[in-house]
């Protein structure tokens, strides 16, 4: 079985491919990744005999057509993914997340490729003060990032309703784990603390996120690929709910630092207060059940960054070079 996986030089996609190559001896994987600032081929076992890496853009219709023609299925992770960057400028988000997704869908349709798993986020539902968003909750994205993902979800689902393409959408909560680019809150805070620097906490720190280990997310994506239904959306949640302030406290403890290292900064524009997804559908239909313990998972993640300075130091240096 030939699987085309987009964006797998990034955080979540690389975890998915690393796991799949270990657990499924039948699968051959082609990764298509543009290697933006967030993509790093060192995240992948590029010499693996069942892995081919192609450096390219999901908006390149000719390249996408060629790769899709040789694929049986697609798992689509490629995206611009950082909310703060989308607030600075939304163009790359609309281009990659919306146009890139449509380019892939067109190619999948031409070549009869499916399932096409479109990996999305809980942020499409917007902030929910109490309870949890089910899959039919209205889409009320706040940031340009979330809006571009919601747009791509709708385009993807339209290819199922209009053309019958086997599209399946996943919407997951915040992930943590190794190989995450050190601009996102957990690797940013951990690497700053390991370097003796301060960490920037937005506003009063009361915004709540649900944290799921990246490997639990990847297992959920694969359950959707192998057992999900065409045209359906599956929420993937079940992580640990924490305010940013609580998360900061845990990271300070893990890095043996105190609150003197925290710098309070102006809140993010349009900062959603809370996300929470209802994942009953994935649990009852697919047997999805996250199994990584948060305390152990967070400790393992902090240890990974402590032991892999060679991975993140060049990325932070490059990010600081004007
Ligand atoms: P990431 O930023 O770490 O990686 C994105 C990858 O996509 C990079 O390797 C980058 O080079 C590649 N890419 C970007 N533009 C491209 C283009 N035009 N063509 C080809 N490749 C391109 O992101 P991530 O955190 O791994 O997220 C992956 C997916 O999972 C995204 O779709 C995101 O919305 C979704 N998601 C992430 C989380 C999370 O907590 N990280 C949670 C839920 C959903």
Residues with beta carbon inside 6 Å of ligand 1? Answer: 6-7, 9-13, 32-36, 38-39, 57-59, 77-81, 96, 100, 119, 121, 149, 172, 174-175, 181
| Residue 51 phi, psi (nearest 5) | -125, 130
* Contact (CB, 8 A) for 301 and 177: yes
198 in a structural domain: no
Q: How confident is the model at residue 322 (pLDDT cuts 50, 70, 90)?
A: low
Q: What is the DSSP string of 177-212?
A: -TT--TTSHHHHHHHHHHTT--EEEETTS--EEEEE
Percent over 70 (pLDDT), the chain: 100
Q: How far is CA 214 from the centre of its chain?
A: 8
- Distances from the Cα of 212 to the Cαs of 136, 175, 196, in angstroms? 22, 5, 27
231 in a structural domain: yes
Number of domains forming the structure of the chain: 1
- Two structure tokens written together for 25: 């001896």
253 in a structural domain: no
- Two structure tokens written together for 317: 């240096």
127 in a structural domain: yes
pLDDT in the model for residue 168: 98
Distance (Å, whole) CA 22 – CA 139: 36
303 in a structural domain: no
| Side-chain-facing half-sphere of 179: CA atoms under 13 Å | 21
Q: Which of 12, 11, 13, 42 is nearest to 29 (CA)?
A: 13
As a whole number, mean pLDDT of residues 272-285 equals: 94
* Contact (CB, 8 A) for 85 and 63: no
Q: Which residues, in sequence order, are CB contacts of 321 under 8 Å at separation 6+?
A: none
Q: What is the mean pLDDT of the chain?
A: 96
Catalytic position from the list 33, 57, 123, 215: 123
pLDDT tens digits for range 135-186: 999 999 999 999 999 999 999 999 999 999 999 999 999 999 999 999 999 9
State the residue range of the domain holding 118.
2-174+213-236
318 in a structural domain: no
Q: How far is CA 76 from the centre of its chain?
A: 10
CA–centroid distance, 225 to ligand 1, in Å, is 18
* Cut 0.95: pTM above it: yes
SS3 of residue 39 by DSSP: coil
153 in a structural domain: yes
pLDDT in the model for residue 192: 97
91 in a structural domain: yes
pLDDT tens digits for range 80-133: 999 999 999 999 999 999 999 999 999 999 999 999 999 999 999 999 989 999
Is the preceding omega at residue 256 within 30 degrees of 0, hence cis?
A: no
CATH number of the domain at 128, please: 3.40.50.720
* Contact (CB, 8 A) for 237 and 279: yes
């Amino acid at each position: 079985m030939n699987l085309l996986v987009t964006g797998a030089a990034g955080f979540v996609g690389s975890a998915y491919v690393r796991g799949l190559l270990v657990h499924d001896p039948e699968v051959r994987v082609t990764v298509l990744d543009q290697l933006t600032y967030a993509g790093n081929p060192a995240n992948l076992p590029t010499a693996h005999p069942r892995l081919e890496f192609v450096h390219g853009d999901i908006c390149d219709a000719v390249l996408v057509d060629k790769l899709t023609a040789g694929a049986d299925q697609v798992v689509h992770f490629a995206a611009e993914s950082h909310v703060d960057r989308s607030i600075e400028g939304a163009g790359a988000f609309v281009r990659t997340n919306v146009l890139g997704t449509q380019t892939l869908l067109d190619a999948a349709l031409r070549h009869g490729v499916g399932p096409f798993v479109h990996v999305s986020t809980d942020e499409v539902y917007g902030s929910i003060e109490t309870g949890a968003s089910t899959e039919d909750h209205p889409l009320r994205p706040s940031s340009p990032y979330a809006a571009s993902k919601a747009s791509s979800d709708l385009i993807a689902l339209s290819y199922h309703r209009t053309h019958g393409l086997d599209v399946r959408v996943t919407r997951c909560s915040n992930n943590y784990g190794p190989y995450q680019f050190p601009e996102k809150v957990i690797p940013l805070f951990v690497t700053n603390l390991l370097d003796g620097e301060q960490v920037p906490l937005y506003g009063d720190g009361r915004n709540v996120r649900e944290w799921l280990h990246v490997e639990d997310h990847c297992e959920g994506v694969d359950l959707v690929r192998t057992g999900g239904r065409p045209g359906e959306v599956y929420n993937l949640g079940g992580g640990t709910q924490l305010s940013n302030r609580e998360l900061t406290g845990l990271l300070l403890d893990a890095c043996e630092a105190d609150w003197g290292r925290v710098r309070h900064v102006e809140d993010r524009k349009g900062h959603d207060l809370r996300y929470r997804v209802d994942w009953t559908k994935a649990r009852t239909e697919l047997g999805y059940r996250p199994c990584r313990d948060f305390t152990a998972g967070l400790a393992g993640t902090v240890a990974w960054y402590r032991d892999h300075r060679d991975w993140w130091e060049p990325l932070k240096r490059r990010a600081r070079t004007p």
